[in-house]
Structure 1
Amino acid sequence: MGILETKNKNKDINKDINKDNIQILEDNLKPKGTITVLGAGRLGVRVVMDLLEVHRGGFEKIQVFDGAKIDKNDIIHRKYGAKVGEYKSKFLEDFYPGKVEAISEHINATNIDKINGNIIVSVIAGGNTLKIRESVLNYALMNKKQFISTNGVFGIEKPVKVEMSQEATGPVEYMKNMPNHIVIGTGGLIRDNEPITPYTLDKMSELIVKTSLILKKD
């Protein structure tokens, strides 16, 4: 296509894009809906911060459950200005009032009904969390909500994957009662004797946010 043809084509496009159309497009890209993040630790705080940075779209509200307080080892929180001793979830709410809603409690059977997101992201992990993760998945299925959880954070060079739980290998294999939801992680286990690196957590957060936005669009 020649330069003159390109200029003429651009003129035709500009005719179709008037102020009213632009306003409609902008309105369609306003943040909408709520996402619930269970856990505001090293991964959870990354997920919330990344969600806050989504521009021209994304979620209107981010609900965060976590009953833990920040200690000196919570480097990522402290890098954002958090103070040792404050609740992790409340720190995020104070960081962006009006956008983030803090529930300074660990998710459990008695407060599960407080979840109001159409998409639920669980970044709590460990053998003692399996029961409540199963309960949250059942709650999500019963209420037609989307559920994303983690599948291992260990590994130096292990790739981070987005998979369906029934097809993945790794910690998710121990979640026999949790098929049919999306899992994101390295598949690494604590017995692999590899550390949790910030690079893996950054990649996991990236894929969690991208996946949640895709699900929101659908």
Structure 2
Amino acid sequence: MTNDEIQKMEDKQVPHGRIDLIGCGRLGLRIGINLIQVHRGGPKIIGAFDGQKIDGGDIIFTLLGAESGKSKPEFLEQLCTHKEEFRKVVSYSDYITEDNLDLIEGDVVIIVIAGGNTIPTAAKIIKHAHERGAKTIGTAGIFGFGNENIEIKDISEYDDSNPAVEELRKEGITENHLVLTTNKLIRDNEPVTPYTLDEVAKIITINALKLLRDKYD
């Protein structure tokens, strides 16, 4: 293989496109850090959305040096020390609502929002993303001690046993949306451990990168 041939291949393996991360909590931060660290490809822009501020209970943030009261998306932006022409995080210190859906511009949209009934909001985000031609990934229960069998597949491939999946379907999300789950939900009275979050973040990152690659191949 000649140097010119190698150079052409290297020129193709540069960051391109945009991945939007809706939710920058314990799981979202892990995914964001994974995406920032990708070499030889990955997103050129990471859009980070969350209206929450860091507090003393956000241990993964404080371990990384975050100050209490700082915006979570802004902290992720701070962690991205690449030159802007290579990769940058664009932070939005707001929750996504029906009124600001237009802020979502990613080729791939990852939805990892938590707290209360987030499914109606997730459904609106997914519909907006699909209208733009974007690919979407979300979760449907990630509770568990850390040794669960994690599934990820299109929502159309699930049976009717997961109530979070069924709620999404009732909102009109029936296909073309990747759903990850441990098949453990809040009703199962199990914790969410850092081991589970690490593995979930890894799998979501892998699949988001594949979707981004497929869009630009």
Q: Please say whether Structure 1 and Structure 2 have the same fold, judged by a TM-score greater than 0.5.
A: yes
1:163 corresponds to 2:139: no
Note the 1:73-88 alignment, pairs <5 A: 73-88=57-72
Aligned-pair CA distance for 1:127: 4.5
Distance 1:214 1:30 in 2: 14
Shift of 1:150: 0.7
Instruction: Tell me if structure 2 keeps the 8 A contact 1:40–1:89.
Output: yes
Corresponding letter in the other structure for 1:175? L
Per-residue deviation, 1:126: 4.5
1:100 alignment partner, one of 89, 92, 97: 89
Instruction: Extract unaligned runs of 5+ from structure 2.
Output: none
Mapped partners of 2:151, 2:36: distance in 1: 23
> Paired residue for 1:179, among 174, 177, 199?
174
Alignment of 1:47-196 (within 5 A): 47-96=31-80, 98=84, 99-156=88-145, 157-168=147-158, 169-170=161-162, 171-176=164-169, 177=171, 178-180=173-175, 181-196=177-192
- Once the two structures are TM-superposed, the CA of residue 131 in structure 1 deviates from its matched residue by 1.4
Do the aligned residues in 2 keep the contact of 1:120 with 1:147 (CA within 8 Å)?
yes
Give yes or no for contact 1:160–1:200 (8 Å, CA) kept in 2: no
- Deviations 1:68-111, CA, capped at 9 Å, x for gaps: 00001101111111111100001111221531110000111111
Any idea what the Cα deviations from partners look like across 1:36-59, whole Å, max 9, x if unmatched?
Answer: 000000000000001111111111
TM-score by length of 1: 0.88
Q: CA contact under 8 A between 2:104 and 2:129: conserved in structure 1? A: no
The CA distance in 1 between the partners of 2:128 and 2:109, in whole Å, is 10
Q: Over residues 161-208 of structure 1, what are the superposed CA-to-partner deviations in whole Å (9 max), with x where a residue is unaligned?
A: 112123334222222222211011212110101000111111111111
CA offsets 1:104-134 (integer angstroms, 9 cap, x no match) = 0011111110111110000013543211111
Q: Which moved more, 1:73-82 or 1:32-41?
A: 73-82
Amino acid at match of 1:48: G
Greater helix fraction, Structure 1 or Structure 2? 1
Partner of 2:201: 205
Aligned partner of residue 101 in structure 1, secondary structure: strand
TM-score by length of 2: 0.89
Runs of 4+ with deviation above 3 angstroms: none
Please name the residue that 1:215 is paired with: 211
Larger Rg: 1
Kept in 2: contact 1:61–1:100 (CA 8 A)? yes
**Mean Cα displacement is larger for which, 30-39 or 174-183?**
174-183
* Alignment size in residue pairs: 202
RMSD, matched Cα: 1.3
Letter in 1 for 2:174: P
| Structure 1 residue matching 2:117: 3-state secondary structure | helix
Contiguous gaps of at least 5 residues in structure 1: 1-16
